[in-house]
Amino acid sequence: MNGASGRSQAPRQPSGATSQGPLERGSTGAPVKIVCVFFRLSTWELGLIILAVVGTATLAGYTTGRYLREHSATQREPFGVIQAALLGVVGLILAFGLTLAVGRYEDRRAATVTEANAIGTTYLRAQLLAEPERSRSLSVLRRYTTLAVGVSKEVPNSPAMRRTTAAQGVLQRRLWSLAGRSIAAAPLASAPRLYVDSLNSTIDDQSARLSALNNRVPGAVLALEVLGAALALALLSLHISILGRGLVPTITAAALVTLLLLVTFDLDRPTRGLIRVPSTPLVSLRASMSLPPAADGPHP
């Protein structure tokens, strides 16, 4: 949990309290439906789809190479040059896509930690408010943190996540109302003003986390990776088949490329698959809220 912040930030209306949250815009369009289907696929289903595309291209190239083997004297060199050049280009594309996916994964992890720290700071400062706003704010913050943990388990842009974020928006309005009452009751006190500052940060960091969860690698990049890898492996298997070599090198290359594509896709699905954004900071924070408050409110 962060300590007192030195920022002098003017109070703002809760960003999550708008009629349409950041994940709800365009939620009825076809692209969003495709995204939801992509997120709902299990790792094994996604792996089988990638393997089917890559395997089909590899088998097609190998079969074509066997057919052209009788022309190997004239075809060997051209296919070898094209295959080598294409493999280099595809390697760059795969590295670019993996870099994008890793960067977004790190951003999501950082956003989760930042939101947990903001909520923790707000919870600490809420303990310094006067009653009855103190007890009410602490209770609402516990429910708000529970919802924040739930976001980590839901598919981005799904109806379940929209319901959760809508519930968070309601609680943000409630917290803002309680903060307004605290300032009205003690306009010169420092505790309510510090509380408003941290509540501003909590609202902003929730929006930043939702945006990070929904920030995916562009679909065109992922499609280019799959199609480019399939074409490169097709030419590789074609060249190996023309040379009369075995299938082991081709199968090995296809397996490695499939694993690399699967890792890239899995990193781009923060709440699904084998590589997930950990919600440990929020879970630990919610567990700490089960303990009695560390500070007492002001006494009359």
Q: Structure pTM?
A: 0.75
Averaged pLDDT, 180-186: 91
The percentage of residues in the chain with a pLDDT greater than 70, rounded to a whole number, is 77
* Count of helix runs (H) and strand runs (E) in the chain: 9, 0
Tell me the average pLDDT across 10-31: 42
Token pair for residue 145?
């943190």
For residues 173 and 168, what is the distance between their CA atoms, to the nearest angstrom?
Answer: 9
- What is the pLDDT confidence band of residue 140, given thresholds at 50, 70 and 90? very high
More confident residue, 75 or 110: 110
What's the DSSP call for residue 280?
Answer: H
247: pLDDT strictly greater than 60:
yes
Q: How confident is the model at residue 37 (pLDDT cuts 50, 70, 90)?
A: low
Give the CA-trace dihedral at 186, 187, 188, 189, to 10 degrees: 40
Asked if 97 and 216 count as a contact pair (C-beta separation under 8 A), the reply is: no
What was the pLDDT predicted at 2?
A: 47
Contact 232, 83 (CB under 8 A): yes
Tokens of 79: 């296919």
Secondary structure class of 150 (helix, strand, coil): helix
Q: Residues 203-232: pLDDT tens digits?
A: 999 999 999 988 887 777 788 888 888 888
Cα angle at 149 between 191 and 136, to 5 degrees?
35
Over 90: is that where the pLDDT of 72 sits? no
Q: pLDDT tens digits for 108-134?
A: 999 999 999 999 999 999 999 988 999
| Each residue's pLDDT tens digit, 285-298 | 999 999 888 777 66
pLDDT band at 65 (very low <50, low <70, confident <90, very high): confident
Instruction: Give the helix/strand (H/E) hosting 80.
Output: helix 72-126
CA–CA gap between residue 89 and residue 134 (Å, rounded): 60
Q: What is the mean pLDDT of the chain?
A: 79
Report angle CA 187, 204, 197 to the nearest 5 degrees.
Answer: 20
**pLDDT greater than 50 at residue 6:** no
